[in-house]
Amino acid sequence: MKNKDIIFFNNQLLNWFKTNKRDLIFRKEKDPYRILVSEIMAQQTQIKTMLPYYNRFIKKFPTIYDLAQSNLEDVLNLWEGLGYYTRARNLWKTANIITENKNFPEKYDDLIKLPGIGPYTAGAIASIAFNQKIPALDGNALRVFSRLYGITEDISETETKRKINDLILKHLNLTDQPGNFNEAIMEIGALVCLKTNPYCKVCPVKKFCYAYLKDKISFFPVNKKRLKKVIESYDVLIMIYQNHPLFTKREKSGLLSGLYGFPMIQNNEHPGSTINTLKDKYNLKLLNYIGESKHVFTHKIWKSTLFSAETDSIPDDFTITPKSVPTAFKKMVLELNK
């Protein structure tokens, strides 16, 4: 695309964005803290799902200083159900670092050093909050620009991402609204240029789109490295004290670390064959088979075989009133209560 075409494209896209953008609460201000929270929450989560969490989070922690002064357990508790809890931990760590430095960093190179902030989030904050001409390269941007320019290389490859990043930078250098431009690309990817069955006929920039003009929409983007989910099987013990399931805090590292769940042993060979190890560990007498539970994470699937057992006392490190229980374990409780 020549510069004059890029300028025309930019204007068409920005005019569309001004008229068609969703009325999202975190767009009403250019507060870098609120942009940070919204972008972290939106990772791996749909906007309509994260909005209630965002509203509760901002009400509880209206400023980055409030978040920094909070207890991590309270943050995780508020995050409960949103998943991917590492995001919450990193957000809390970042709030503490920024508060200690007494300054919210404006430059991309400083932002990307903070816990949980990658190239996309750093670009989004730098451009939206501070009007810097920095690309925000997310899945939407990769898809839109691969179709727009007919990028035949694999978008999962670093070189391809760099190529698309440079193309976006060309567009940013020819607009005085870098933040709006990045948001417009995200928005058109979310509303029009969908992964499957995109709404090409209503696209405001379709006449610039290689994939549309060549009738090759289904060919783009090219992604050869779609990860297959790993299946992990577990035997899980739910101890019952006076009709209440007992929860224990998980290890400080690994999936769902530091949250509350049930004792479990990975068992990919013969489901149920290791449960006696847990029975003996807690000196239990009778086990009852409950059923099966399945939970899908981004890159793996948990398949759990569930057993329950009555206990006369609450063992050390267990509680009937956990602060934060991930959805994976809530599903197990539902099986218990059937």
Active-site amino acid positions: 39
Q: How far is CA 161 from the centre of its chain?
A: 20
- What are the φ/ψ torsions at residue 79 (nearest 5 degrees)? -80, -10
Nearest to 25 by CA among 34, 15, 13, 36: 34
- Determine the 3-state secondary structure of 190 from DSSP: helix
3 state DSSP class of 100: helix
Measured CA to CA, the distance from residue 51 to residue 135 in angstroms comes to 24
Cα dihedral 122, 177, 54, 20 sign: negative
Angstrom distances, CA of residue 332 to CA of 75, 94, 254, 338: 23, 33, 20, 10
Pull the structure tokens for residue 254.
């690994």
Work out whether the CA dihedral 199, 203, 207, 211 comes out positive or negative: negative
- Other C-beta atoms lying within 10 Å of the C-beta of residue 61: 22
Instruction: Tell me the two tokens of residue 125.
Output: 């904050």
Q: How far is CA 15 from CA 39, 294, 308, in A?
A: 23, 45, 59
Q: 260 with 322: CB under 8 angstroms?
A: yes
**What gap in Å lies between CA 252 and CA 217, rounded to an integer?**
45
